[in-house]
Each structure stands twice: as structure tokens, then as C-alpha cells.
Structure 1
Amino acid sequence: MAEPSPKRFCGLRPRVILLGDSLTQQSFAPNGWGAALADAYQRRCDVLNRGYSGYNSRWVLQLLRSGGGFPGDSADAATRVVTLLLGANDAVLEGEKSQYVPLEEYKSNLRDIVSIIRERCPLAKILIICPPPVCEWQRLEFQKERFGDQATGKPERTNENTGRYAAAALEVAAQLSLPSVNLWKLMQEVPFDWSEFLCDGLHFTEKGNTFVGKAVLREISASLPNVAVVPCKHTGAYGNSGSSSEIAIDCPFWDDLDLENPLKSLGA
């Protein structure tokens, strides 16, 4: 377990950046997995959502190459963690939509994206998250609800094909010595109907978001302990003096203040 957090004076906080597609863009919804990370890093890091709905790895790479996405680190604001969740749109069946990206290009794009992250954020720990499974019958139901008589009756994604992209993401993570979370596998191993994790066969329900948040935080604790936060053993909270991390907190917790002279505790 990490030692109690070192105190630091008020200033710019380090960053955690969540990079991906709609599965990341929507992660700040109530009970979203990104919100779970923001909760875990409260008072320690600003968690930035850089999810781009509908984007594939090719477009995210082009965005980063153009200088977009997120700024590089500065002396005042370093990035500690970057999560990378792409592949759900790359895995659209070939010929169905323009989002499709061939498997080998997807792997190359991930490697190039990681290279840019490392250049912009040299201190950051990178966690690759594999795309989740696809529930094909839910996709067909969603298609009918959205398009009515114009629905094709054919899924634009399949779980089997998305599994290939999940395996490719794992391969890239291993090649680059990066930790990973295999959502495609983990979600299908639960002892209940895993379709409960998805609202339209693709995007997460509240239950799915909770699962993803726990899986990501668990992997950070296991593989990246120096940037993990240990919650208070008494309350389970991440934002009190019982929590701990190697990442310093932004100003002392209230119960660590000199109550007779708070300014002294704040360095004033």
C-alpha cells in the first residue's frame, strides 16, 4: 500500500487524459467510467476527456499529427496517465461505413498514436483498453428503432470481427510493453448475460460503465502502482486524508491543516 500522500501547495494539477472515441466521450455521463477515474484522482489530477464520437484510429492519429487532441506537457502541468480506447469504429465491417480501418493499419495507427503521446507527455504512463464486445441482436434492434423500414437487417459490426481488433490492441500493447485491459474478453466472462453491459450493442449502460471503471482502476493499481490511488480503508473514499498515492494532493486535506493558523499549512 502506498504511503500517505505527500502534501503540496496549491497550483496546477497533473493530468490524466482519456483518449478515444464515443466510448470515451460518453464516459463522463452519470456513473460513467471516466467519472470513476475523476473520482479516484480527485484533489490529485485533472482528468481530461478527449473522446471523439465516431472517430477511428486513423482520424485520431490525423488529429494528433495536426497538433490537436491535447496540449503537450509543460513545467507546470505534467500528464501522469493516458488511457487509449480505440477500435470499435475501426472494426465496422468493410464496405459498410467509411469508419472501417484495415486491421494492420489499425495496429500501425495505435503504435503511432502511442509514439505521439510519449513525445508530448514523456512522464505519462499509457494504458491501452481493448474495444468491448458487440451485441449483434442489440445492434439490429437499434437499427430498426432508428431507421424503421430503411433498416438493412444486417449488422454493421460483428462480435467476432471486433474480437480481432481487440486481439490486435493486445498485440500492440505487448510489443510496446504497455499494460492493457481486454474488455472484449472480460465482459464476456461474467456469470450473467453480458449484453446487460451495452445499451445498443455498442455503447455502455450504467452497469457496463461501472464494470469498465473498476477494470481500468484495477489494472492501474496492478500494473502502474506509482500512479494509482489507494482509497481510505475506513470509508472507501479517494478524497480524504485516509487515501494515499505517490501523486501529491493539491493542498493539505482539511484535517491536516493547522487549525489555529491555516495559512501556515498553505505556505502563505
Structure 2
Amino acid sequence: MRPKLVLFGDSITEESFGDGGWAAALAHHFSRSADIVLRGYSGYNTRWALKVLDRAMDGASFGEPPAAVAVFFGANDASLPDRSSGFQHVPLSEYSANLRAICSHLKEKWDSTIMILITPPPIDEHGRIQNPYGDNSSGLPERTNEVAGAYAKACVAVAEESGLPVIDIWTRMHKFPGWEKLFLRDGLHFTSLGNRVLFEEVVRKLRDVGLSLETMPVDQPLFYDIDPKDPLKTFCN
């Protein structure tokens, strides 16, 4: 059977098979060599993800351990507890513990599968004020970039202590001038270019860990490489 790459995450994962989505790009990139299995749950944090983990993974491997599972949570965990999305908030220490538990459980289930953590993305607070979540009449964002950064650092720390590969998309996106509007359509969810950045990072990380799923040579450069100095030019080309 063809190798499987399972994507387990929140709404940024759930919508990733949409037009220009990062999962759709992965499916196209690996169209002749691997299958992309979507397990995205809009609104979920790591606490809820842990509760549904077994059901979410049921059937994901089609009888064989997946080649890799990408675990992409944190955007909802990092919601501010005193705002409209506060019910999604998970304290930082619990977030770290939940990530460990998710990866540990999956590793026990599939010991040959590579687990890849993805940090929560940056937050454009102005964009969140313009696109409020729920009944948010405070005029304040329900998420902040500073808090999202703290959760991103915690995700990286969990990966390092567990010996797991990690994609620090929070830091990566910050390397591009004007990332707020380039990559985030509503201050949280990705634009087509934001999706392109994450697609690039996933493919690179798979290569870094020696998991080449492409039929093309491993050392061949990606067609979609993004130039931080001029991302729009790269994207348009």
C-alpha cells in the first residue's frame, strides 16, 4: 500500500484541502507516491484532541502504520481565557502535557511512524479585531501574537525533549516582512501564500528526517520555493 501522511489538527488543518490549501498542495505534490489523510477538527484544542484521538485515528492508516503524522494544535489553546473564545483556552503547562500525551499515544500505536509537531501560527491582532470570534463586543482580540509565541516555544520545547521533529511556523512566518497580511486572511487562518509556506515546511521536514515520499529525486529543489525578500514575486511566478 502507498505510504500515508496523516494531518491531525484544528480548523487550519480542517480547511487545508480547500482551494490553495496546504494539504491540497501536499496531495498534489505526492500524487503518485503517497496519500494525504485529513483529520482536522475546527475549534479543537489539545484537550479535546486527546479525548477523540483514538476515534480520529480509526481508519487513518488503512491497516498499515502511516509514514508520518503531523500534529498541529495550539491556536485555540492559546485563546485568551477572559475573551469570547475563552472556553477553548488550555493553560500552557497543560498544552505541553497534552502534546506529549498525543505523541506518546500515537507512538505506542504506531512505533514506526514519524511524529512531526507544528507550532501554532502567529496572530495578527488587528485582523482578529476586524474578524471577531463569536459575540466579542470588547473591541479586543481574543488571541494575541505574544501568547501564540509562548505556545509556539512550548511546542518546540516538547519536540526537543521528546526527540521529535518540529516545524516552527510562528518563527518562520515572522521572517517575512508584512507577514500579517501576506499569510493571514483574518488574523489567524491562512491565505494562499500562508498555506504555501506551511506546505514548503512540511515537505522540507519530511526530507530532513529522511522520509522522501516523492517520486522525484530527494535533492531536487522544490518548485514552490519562497523568497523571504520577495514572496509575492515568487508566488506569482
TM-score greater than 0.5 by the shorter chain = yes
1:166 aligns with 2:152: yes
**Structure with bigger RCO (C-alpha 8 Å, 6+ apart):** 1
- Structure 1 pair 102–193 and aligned structure 2 pair: CA distance change class (3 A): closer
Question: Percent identity between the aligned chains?
Answer: 39
Q: TM-score, normalised by structure 2?
A: 0.85
> 1:214 is matched with which residue: 185, 200, 209?
200
Measure how far apart 1:228 and its partner are: 4.1
Unaligned regions of 5+ residues in structure 2, if any?
225-237
Partner of 2:231: none
Q: How big is the alpha-carbon RMSD for the aligned residues of Structure 1 and Structure 2?
A: 2.4
- Structure 1 pair 73–213 and aligned structure 2 pair: CA distance change class (3 A): closer
1:229 aligns with 2:214: yes
- Structure 1 pair 74–38 and aligned structure 2 pair: CA distance change class (3 A): closer
1:83 aligns with 2:70: yes
- Structure 1 pair 151–228 and aligned structure 2 pair: CA distance change class (3 A): same
Partner of 2:100: 111
Measure how far apart 1:227 and its partner are: 3.7
- Structure 1 pair 192–174 and aligned structure 2 pair: CA distance change class (3 A): same
Residue identity opposite 1:24 in structure 2: T
* Whole-Å separation in 1 of the counterparts to 2:88 and 2:61: 34
Alignment of 1:23-172 (within 5 A): 23-64=12-53, 67-71=54-58, 76-96=63-83, 97-143=86-132, 151-172=137-158
Q: After TM superposition, which residue ranges in structure 1, 4 or more long, deviate above 6 angstroms?
A: 72-75
Residue identity opposite 1:179 in structure 2: P
Measure how far apart 1:219 and its partner are: 1.8
Equivalent residues of 2:17, 2:23 under 8 A apart: yes
- Structure 1 pair 154–71 and aligned structure 2 pair: CA distance change class (3 A): same
Measure how far apart 1:88 and its partner are: 0.1
* Whole-Å separation in 2 of the counterparts to 1:87 and 1:220: 21
* Whole-Å separation in 2 of the counterparts to 1:234 and 1:159: 32
Partner of 2:233: none
Equivalent residues of 1:85, 1:131 under 8 A apart: yes
* Whole-Å separation in 2 of the counterparts to 1:27 and 1:113: 21
Aligned pair count reads 220
- Matched residue SS, 1:49: strand
Q: TM-score, normalised by structure 1?
A: 0.76
Measure how far apart 1:195 and its partner are: 2.6
Equivalent residues of 2:173, 2:179 under 8 A apart: no
* Whole-Å separation in 2 of the counterparts to 1:193 and 1:234: 24
Unaligned regions of 5+ residues in structure 1, if any?
1-11, 238-268
Partner of 2:167: 181
Equivalent residues of 1:80, 1:125 under 8 A apart: yes
* Alpha-carbon displacement from aligned partner over 1:100-141 (angstroms, at most 9, x marks no partner): 000000000000000111122222111111011000000001
Measure how far apart 1:73 and its partner are: 7.9
Equivalent residues of 1:24, 1:50 under 8 A apart: yes
Equivalent residues of 1:80, 1:227 under 8 A apart: no
Q: Which piece of structure 1 moves more, 41-50 or 151-160? A: 41-50
Q: Which piece of structure 1 moves more, 100-109 or 185-194? A: 185-194
* Whole-Å separation in 1 of the counterparts to 2:116 and 2:65: 17
* Alpha-carbon displacement from aligned partner over 1:175-213 (angstroms, at most 9, x marks no partner): 110111111111011134443200110000111101111
- Structure 1 pair 235–202 and aligned structure 2 pair: CA distance change class (3 A): closer
* Whole-Å separation in 1 of the counterparts to 2:103 and 2:30: 23
Measure how far apart 1:235 and its partner are: 10
